[in-house]
Amino acid sequence: MIIQFNTDNHVKGSETKAGAFTEQIKKELSRFSSHLTRIEVHLSDEDGAASGPNTKRCKLEARIEGKKPIAVSEDAGSEGQALTGAINKLKSALDTTIGKSREH
């Protein structure tokens, strides 16, 4: 499973975060790793230099072998919270998608 990490210009320390967040994604999605070819992570600060609640956005796009990609997003007060929320949404979507394919 390849993890591709992308940030906008407003996310500080993106190289350090990319390493930690990549490990978190690998750990959280390990049970799906045999089905996933790639995860794309898009981390952004929607308000740029301004601060406010729920300004950080994490979009995850999972590429599943032989299926259409699944995309989810989460807005939160920090990058870590946004990533965790997006991972939880993606796990739910993968459970549904992979579960359906096992039934057929």
- pLDDT tens digits, one per residue of 56-91: 999 999 999 989 999 999 999 999 999 999 999 999
Task: With beta carbons less than 8 A apart as the criterion, state whether 75 and 53 touch.
Answer: no
Identify which has the larger pLDDT, 90 or 1: 90
Domain that holds residue 94: 2-103
Work out how many domains the chain is built from and give that number: 1
What pTM does this model have? Answer: 0.88
Query: SS in 3 state form for 64-93?
Result: ECCCCCEEEEEEECCHHHHHHHHHHHHHHH
Non-local CB neighbours of 67 within 8 Å, separated by 6+ positions: 97, 101
Helix (H, G, I), strand (E, B) or coil at 21: helix
Q: Residue 51 belongs to a domain with what CATH number? A: 3.30.160.100
Task: With beta carbons less than 8 A apart as the criterion, state whether 60 and 72 touch.
Answer: yes
